[in-house]
Chains A and B, each alone.
Chain A
Amino acid sequence: DIVMTQSPDSLAVSLGERATINCKSSQTVLYSSNNKNSLAWYQQKPGQPPKLLISWTSTRESGVPDRFSGSGSGTDFTLTISSLQAEDVAVYYCQQYYRTPLTFGGGTKVEIK
């Protein structure tokens, strides 16, 4: 199985400041057909299912604010919230969909400082 390791476990950031979440895969998730990494990011708020924010490492879903961005290559990936808003308080997960079993990181809880 591909193990996804997120850091940090939690993060407190002031409103308007940058939040950075890291995710490392135990092996490549590069899909050769399109030369893109099969890496997604989700946001989960209490009592709700996860919501897909970003797929293919850096492609934002429709309606996702542009303060959310994804980057990375190889086995190291990053989700950045450029200017934290109150509504961004949530747990964030990375996930690989390169091969089954689909696997998730352990989550990063983002709070307001």
Chain B
Amino acid sequence: QVQLQQSGPGLLKPSQTLSLTCAISGDSVSTNSAAWNWVRQSPSRGLEWLGRTYYRSNWNYDYAASVKSRIIINPDTSKNQFSLQLSSVTPDDTAVYYCAKGWELTVWGQGTPVTVSS
């Protein structure tokens, strides 16, 4: 059974970089049959997909246009996890952040509430 365990700080100041990690158990980040996503949820934006990475002979990355200039998703095969970095955060980035597996999102992490405030 695949499980995703999120970790990372929940309080940031404007202009800082958000960094979250999603540890995978029961599957491999380098499997060639899945993708690994980050999604956020806020009252103002609803559920918003941020991006994904997946391995098909090489690593591939897709990012939402709304965050493309600020986001990096990195797989870490040595630790079987993947991470989210979102730079130059503003209060508008306040949300619950989730990692999730799949094209349709079959397995979700527990969620990390992130607040951006001075």
Contact = CB atoms under 8 A, between A and B. Distances in A.
Nearest to A50: B108
Most buried by A among B37, B108, B111: B108
Given A40-B104, A106-B46, A100 B109 contact: no
Contacts, number: 50
Interface in B98-114: 98, 100, 103-106, 108-111
Nearest to A52: B106
Chain B interface mostly helix, strand, loop or mixed? strand
A93 interface: yes
Contacts of A55: 104, 106
Task: Say whether chain A's binding surface is mostly helix, strand, loop, or mixed.
Answer: loop
B46 A107 contact: yes
A97 B103 contact: yes
A49 B41 CA distance: 10
Residue among B100, B104, B110 with max Cβ neighbours from chain A (10 Å): B104
B117 to A, nearest CB: 22
Contacts of B46: 104, 106-107
Interface centre among B49, B98, B105 (most CB of A within 10 A): B105
A103 interface: yes
B92 interface: no
Given A50-B105, A52-B104, A55-B104, A93 B110 contact: no
Interface of B: 37, 39, 46-49, 52, 62, 64-65, 98, 100, 103-106, 108-111
Interface of A: 38, 40, 42, 49-52, 55-56, 61, 93, 95, 97, 100-104, 106-107
